[in-house]
Structure 1
């Protein structure tokens, strides 16, 4: 086996990194995951994730975790409403489609994956700062000064990964869209009319170049995103301070003056915001063919893309499946050959996913865009 008596280091304990660790441990590989979060209880913000049949769910099945995923995830229907809160389309999940792409809270997914790993697999409170080569091994450096060594490094630490420069010169490109993500605690009482409008489904509204998508059952929160094209005269975040929730609430109220009071109730009830300029890492740039030791990237570290096709985490999980299989199936003579085969395949399907995402992003801001047309 290629990794016999080898140490694998995965940087990042997101869903892709943890799944990679799980798949390698199933084959008896010595793997350690290094994560910047302080501990396993550190809360992850953001909307829920949905794993697709044919990609993410297939990987969970290979990892022996699909049934557990079904137990923890929620089938969610769709409701499309206009700016005045009139319901244009509504569909609840059925027994036939309830497992197509159920939604799971990010913290629940992390817990599911952590529970599947050998105790001590994840080393917490390790902010990765760089790599060096020492005595024929990678020397992983962290901001607390506690270095580690490995024979193979897999970067799975997101779009701002500092491991990327060892693999490719590709840089993040902004796509011109801005997403303001909000979270509402106890939505049943803090924004009851909007919560009722959601009707236990994902609510979607589009109007005048603004899109709102809300999920009322993201764990114990209601989470939503407001999406619009970033005006040319703005900087990446327009100076909005995510720590000043009142200023962002006022910005949203000013941006949606003619929308129904239920939407304004949602904004006023928001307890926390994240501002996200959407970005991508193009995979069509050449990846480095000469590397001092085996190293590669998976997930957002390799090919971050906006969420407009729901492909990000699913493509990342496919990365983990292909790479782990290449490293353990005995078909390759060297680790570098297994990595090269994975990367060549990944570049093709990740580029296709990015193209689909880009097409959706363009379509979403056309004057005639309608969520209703997409679902009815």
Structure 2
């Protein structure tokens, strides 16, 4: 076996890193996951995730967790509405499609994955600051914590990883779209009119270049995102202070000035905003082939993409499925050749996912885009 008597380090305890660890542990591989969060109770902020039947769910099936995912996730319909709160169409889950891509809270997903790992597989409070080679080993340096050694490193800690430079020189690119996300606890109390408009479904509205996507059932909270083309005056720096709730709220209320009052109450009820430009790692240049020791990238660290096709985490879970199989199936003579085959396959399927996301992004931020047009 390629990884016999080898120590594998996975950087990042997101869905991809944890699934990768589970799949390796199934084959009795010595693997440790290093995560910057202080502990397993650290809240992961953000909307729910939906794992697709032919990608993310395949990885969970291999990890013997597919039924557990179904038990914990929530099949959700979609309500398409206008900016005046007129419901255009509603799509409800059916018995036949309820398992196609049910939504799961990020913290619930992490807990599910952690329960499938051996105790102490994840080492918390490990913010990676540097990675070096020493005595034919990778030496991982963490902020205010002791270093750790490994034979193989799998980087799964997102687009800002310190270890990416050993694998790729590609630079992160902004794609021209901005997303402002908000959470509202107890939405049935704090924004009841909008909560009722959702009617238990995800809600989508598009009007004059503003796209709103909301999920009223994110483990007791309502999570939403407002998506729009990045203003030209933000090219140098974002002109919003996301520590200033009133500043962000006033900006959004101006953009939503001709929307129904229900949307405005949603914004006014939000006590915490996060804003981020959408970014990607281009896959149009080869990765380095002179790496000193085995190392590769998975998930967002490999192929960061905007969330406009729902492919990000699903593509990352395919990474975990393909790479873990390559490293344990006995078909490759070296770790490097197993990694190289994974990367060649990944460039193809991740490139296709990026293209789909890019196409949707261009369409959705068009001022003339309307769900009414799609439905009709």
In the alignment, is the contact (CA less than 8 A) between 2:140 and 2:148 conserved in 1? yes
* Residue in structure 1 matched with residue 29 of structure 2 by the alignment: 29
Aligned counterpart, 2:57: 57
Q: Match of 1:267?
A: 267
In the TM superposition, what is the alpha-carbon distance from 1:255 to its structure 2 partner? 1.2
Give the Å deviation of 1:120. 0.2
* Partners of 1:196 and 1:364 in 2: CA distance: 25
Match of 1:234 in 2: 234
Residue equivalent to 2:98: 98
Match of 2:288, SS state, is coil
Aligned 1:343-354 pairs, distance under 5 A: 343-354=343-354
- Superposed, 1:282-361 pairs within 5 Å as 282-361=282-361
> Is there any run of 5+ residues in structure 1 with no aligned partner, and where?
none
C-alpha deviation, 1:372, in angstroms: 3.7
Runs of 4+ in 1 over 6 A off after TM superposition: none
Q: In 2, Cα distance between the equivalents of 1:106 and 1:36?
A: 16
Kept in 2: contact 1:185–1:271 (CA 8 A): no
1:248-296 CA-to-partner distances (Å, cap 9, x unmatched) read 1111111111100000010011121110100000112120011100000
Deviations 1:27-80 (A, max 9, x none): 000000000000000000011000001100011000000000001100010001
Q: What SS does the corresponding residue of 1:147 show, helix, strand or coil?
A: strand
Distance 1:253 1:329 in 2: 55
* 1:216-235 to 2 correspondences below 5 Å: 216-235=216-235
Distance in 2, matches of 1:327 and 1:101, equals 28
Q: Check the 8 A contact 1:81/1:88 in 2, yes or no.
A: yes
Correspondence for 1:252: 252
The TM-score normalised by the length of structure 1 is 0.98
Partner of 2:120: 120
Q: Tell me if structure 2 keeps the 8 A contact 1:2–1:334.
A: yes
The corresponding residue for 1:39 is 39
Name the residue aligned to 2:136.
Answer: 136
Rounded to whole Å, the distance in 1 between the matches of 2:72 and 2:322 is 25
Match of 1:181 in 2: 181
| CA distance in 1 between partners of 2:109 and 2:22 (Å) | 13
Query: Unpaired segments of 5 or more residues in structure 2?
Result: none
Aligned residues: 376
State the partner residue of 1:9: 9
Secondary structure at the counterpart of residue 247 of structure 1: helix
Counterparts of 1:245 and 1:115, CA distance in 2: 37
Instruction: Specify the alignment match of 1:211 in structure 2.
Output: 211
Distance 1:375 1:166 in 2: 47
Name the TM-score, length of structure 2 as normaliser.
Answer: 0.98
Q: For 1:206-252, what per-residue CA distance to the aligned partner results, in whole angstroms no more than 9, with x for missing partners?
A: 00000000000011110000000011121466231222112111111
1:155 aligns with 2:152: no
Q: Cα–Cα, structure 1 residues 50 and 33, in superposed 2: closer, same or farther, change >3 Å?
A: same
Give the direction of change, closer, same or farther, for the CA distance of 1:375–1:167 in structure 2 (3 Å limit). farther
Greater mean deviation of Cα atoms: 35-44 or 230-239: 230-239
Could you tell me how far apart the structure 2 residues matched to 1:313 and 1:365 are?
22
Match of residue 197 from structure 1: 197
Deviates most, 365-374 or 120-129 = 365-374
